[in-house]
Amino acid sequence: MNPTIKDIAREAGCSIQTVSRALNNKEEIDPGTKKRILEIAKRLNYSPNILASSLRLKKTKTLGIVIPDNRDPFYAEILQGASKKAREYGYQIILSVLSHRGCNVEEELAALRTLISQRVDGLLLQPEQEESLYIDALRGCPIPYVLYNRAPKGLVCNYVTHNHEQGAFIACSHLFESGKKEIYYLIRKPQTSSIKARIKGCEKAIEKYGLPKNSIHIIDCEDSVDDAYQKTKSLLDHYVPQAFHTWDDIMAIGVVKAIIDKGLRIPEDVSLVGYNDILIARYFNPPLTTVRQQLTFMGETAVDILIQKITDKTNKRVEHVELTLELVKRATT
Amino acid sequence: MNPTIKDIAREAGCSIQTVSRALNNKEEIDPGTKKRILEIAKRLNYSPNILASSLRLKKTKTLGIVIPDNRDPFYAEILQGASKKAREYGYQIILSVLSHRGCNVEEELAALRTLISQRVDGLLLQPEQEESLYIDALRGCPIPYVLYNRAPKGLVCNYVTHNHEQGAFIACSHLFESGKKEIYYLIRKPQTSSIKARIKGCEKAIEKYGLPKNSIHIIDCEDSVDDAYQKTKSLLDHYVPQAFHTWDDIMAIGVVKAIIDKGLRIPEDVSLVGYNDILIARYFNPPLTTVRQQLTFMGETAVDILIQKITDKTNKRVEHVELTLELVKRATT
DNA sequence: CTGAAAGCGCTAACAA
DNA sequence: TTGTTAGCGCTTTCAG
C-alpha cells in the first residue's frame, strides 16, 4: 500500500502536521526536521494523495474538456492547445470524447455530469446539442466553463469563437471575385448555430456580388472525408460545377480526390476553398486555399479565460473572444 | 455550495447511510424511501462527489495517458481509441501531453508522478526516454500500466506494439522488389528501441536481396512534415534518389511536396513508402503506399489489457500483444 | 516551531 | 429496512 503522511510521521517521530508542513514548503518549520522528513518521504517513495487534499481543499487543479472526435485534426489541435496551456498553469486535463459528432443529448449530459462529479475546477465545452435540455444544464452549471467554437444563442457565458459568418463570406467572396458564378457548398444541414452562421455568410456574399439567390448550392454532407468524396463523386457524374467550398479541410481533401479521380484539374476546371487551415493543408497536393482558423490558439485562449475565471471568482464579467480569420490563398483557386 | 448526502438526509429525514444506499442502487432499501430520496436529490441538483468516494473506495475509475503530441495523427488516433474504450468500461481519461517528442526525463517523470498522485487506476504510456532513470521509475510503479508502441529492452511489463523491424523490412522489400537499388530513409538518429528496430529491418531487407550495405541511406530528420520537406528539398537539389522511405506518413507528405515542387513525378521518377496509414493517407494525392499500423486499435487494445490488469489483480501474467502490420500499396510505388 | 483535533463527503461494517 | 460509527489521507484552525 502507498505510504501516507502518517507513515512518514511515525518514521520521523513527529506529528502528521509537521510532515504536511515539510511536504508543502511551509515556512514555520525547522530546516533540520524538514530535511529529515523529505528524506524519509523519498526513501518510502511517498506519493501525495491528491484525492485527499482535493477533498479537503475543495479544488482539484483539474480541467474537464469535452470533444466529439480526436481523429479530426480540428479537435485534435484545439485539445493540443488546451493541454499545453493547462500544463503551464499546473492543471491536469480530464478528457471526455463523445461517441460522435452531434451525439444525443443524453450522452453529452452524462459527460458533463461525470466531469462535474469529478469536481473539475473548470470546463471546456462545445455544445453538440444546442437544444434547451443541454443549454439548461449549462445554465445551472455550478463551476466555471468556457465554450469553444460555438456560442448558442440565448446563453450568457464565456466563449471563444471565430466568426463563422465572416469566414464563409470571405471564402465565397474570394470565389466570386475570381469570376465563379456558382459554388457547391458541402456542409451539414443547418442545425448548429455555427452552420447557420456559415450559410448566412454565403448569402451575404451572394448579395454583395449581386448574384442570383441560387448561386450557392448546399450539399448535405457529413463531417468526413469519405462522405465528401462520395457526395462529390456522385455530383461530378452528371455535372461539373465551377467551384466548391467545404465545411472543413478534411472534407476539402475528399473533394479534391473526387475531382482528380474524375480526371479534372484544380483550379483550371474546378476551384475549391476549404476551411480551418489544418496542419497538412499547406502540404497537401495541391496546397489548399482555405480559411484559417486559429485552432491551437483557440484551445489556449479558452484555457486562459477559464483559469482567470477560476482564480478570480469575484469577477463576474462574461468574456467573449472572437479570434481573427484570414483567407489563405494557395493552389486550389 | 454543492449539496451533499447529508443535506439530502436532513431533507428526507433519514440517515446519510440510507441516502447512500438509494443513490447507489443498493438492494436493502424500501422502494418508497428510495424514490423519495432520489426526488430530493434531483430537486437539489445533487452531484455525487467522486473525490470522496474514490478516497474511500481506493479506486478512481480513472486512467492516465501520456502522449507527446496530439497534433500528430499517430498519437491522436491512439488517444481516440483509448478514450472510446475507456468510456465503454466506464473509466475517465486523465490526459498528459508532453512539451515535445523525446522531451527531457524530468518532464516525463513529473507527468508520471502527477498521474500517480491523482491515483489513477492504471496508466497508458510510451516511454520517451528509454534510459534507466525513467525505466527505474516504471519498475517501482505502484499501479498497473501498459506501454504502447514501444517496449524498452530489459523492462518486464505489459505492452502492445507493432513489429517495427518487420514493418521497415516489408517497406524496403517492397521497394527492392520493384527494382529499386537504393532507398533514402528519413528517420531520427537511432535513439529509441523502435527506431533501432526499423533500421534493423532495413538491414535485413538489404541482406535478403543481396544488395550492398549502403543501399539504404539514413537521413536524420525530425518527426515533422516541415523538416521532412526541407531535408528532401536539400537532397533533391543535388541528387534524385530512386526511392524514399519515411518514419511516418506525416514525413511522407513533406517528401511528396518536395518532390512535386521539384517538378518530379511519383512514382515514375521517385518512389515512396510511408508508414502508419493515417486517415488521410488514402485520400492524399497521390494516395500513399504505406505500412499500416492499427493505431486506433492499439489504443483500444492497450485499454483492454489495462482494465483486465486493474480488475483482476491476482493475474500477474505479463501481456505482450503484437498487432499485425501490412503493406498497403497505393500510388506512390 | 510543533501537536491535537476537526472535518472535507463518502462507504463499509456492524448494530438495531 | 434503517441508523451509528469509523475512517479513507489530507489540511486548517487553534493550542501549546
Tell me, yes or no, if B315 comes closer than 8 A to chain A by beta carbon. Answer: no
Q: Which residue is nearest to nucleotide C9 (CA to C1')?
A: B52
Q: Determine the pLDDT at residue B315.
A: 83
Tell me, yes or no, if B93 comes closer than 8 A to chain A by beta carbon. Answer: yes
- Proximity of residue A29 CB to strand C below 7 A: yes
Please tell me the distance from the alpha carbon of residue B19 to that of residue B313, in angstroms, as a whole number: 31
Q: Which residue is nearest to nucleotide D1 (CA to C1')?
A: B29
Q: Determine the pLDDT at residue A153.
A: 87
Work out whether the CA dihedral B318, B80, A62, A55 comes out positive or negative.
negative
B50 with A117: Cβ contact below 8 A: yes
Partners of B220 in beta bridges: B187
Residues B141/B164, Cβ–Cβ less than 8 Å:
no
The mean predicted confidence, pLDDT, of chain A is: 95
Q: Determine the pLDDT at residue B196.
A: 94
Decide which of A315 and A274 is more confident.
A274
Q: Which of residues 106-145 of B touch A (CB under 8 A)?
A: 113-114, 116-119, 140, 142
Decide which of A190 and B215 is more confident.
B215
Task: From chain A, pick out residues whose CB is under 8 angstroms from the CB of B44.
Answer: none
Whether the pLDDT of residue A28 is over 80: the answer is no
Please tell me the distance from the alpha carbon of residue B57 to that of residue B119, in angstroms, as a whole number: 11
Task: From chain A, pick out residues whose CB is under 8 angstroms from the CB of B113.
Answer: 47
Tell me, yes or no, if B4 comes closer than 8 A to chain A by beta carbon. Answer: no
Partners of A214 in beta bridges: none
pLDDT in tens, B62-72: 999 999 999 99
pLDDT tier, B6 (very low <50, low <70, confident <90, very high otherwise): very high
Nearest to A280 by CA among B152, B135, B202, B252: B252
Nearest CA in chain A to B260: A285
Nearest CA in chain B to A255: B283
Tell me, yes or no, if B97 comes closer than 8 A to chain A by beta carbon. Answer: yes
Nearest to A146 by CA among A62, A65, A60: A65
What's the CA dihedral at B160, B166, B171, B174 to 10 degrees? -140
SS3 A107: helix
Look at A19-33, A61-75, A227-241 and tell me which has the smallest mean pLDDT.
Answer: A19-33
Nearest to A95 by CA among A129, A74, A127, A69: A69
- Proximity of residue A268 CB to strand C below 7 A: no
- Within a 10 A sphere around the Cβ of B54, how many other Cβ atoms? 22
Determine the residue among A5, A53, A97 to mutate to test chain B binding: the one whose Cβ has the most chain B Cβ atoms within 10 Å.
A97
pLDDT in tens, A206-218: 999 999 999 999 9
CA angle B166, B168, B171 (to 5 degrees): 105
A177 alpha carbon, distance to own chain's centre:
32
Which grid coordinates are listed for A235? 455530383
Question: How long is the CA A283 to C1' C11 vector, in angstroms?
Answer: 56
Determine the residue among A42, A44, A47, A300 to mutate to test chain B binding: the one whose Cβ has the most chain B Cβ atoms within 10 Å.
A47
Hey, which bits of chain A come out as E strands?
A: 62-67, 92-97, 122-125, 145-148, 158-162, 183-187, 216-220, 243-246, 271-276, 290-292, 320-323, 326-328
Task: From chain B, pick out residues whose CB is under 8 angstroms from the CB of A76.
Answer: 70-71, 73, 76
Q: How far is CA A253 from CA A220, B185, B235, B333, in A?
A: 16, 27, 28, 21
State the pTM of this model.
0.96
Tell me which DSSP letter residue B263 carries.
Answer: T
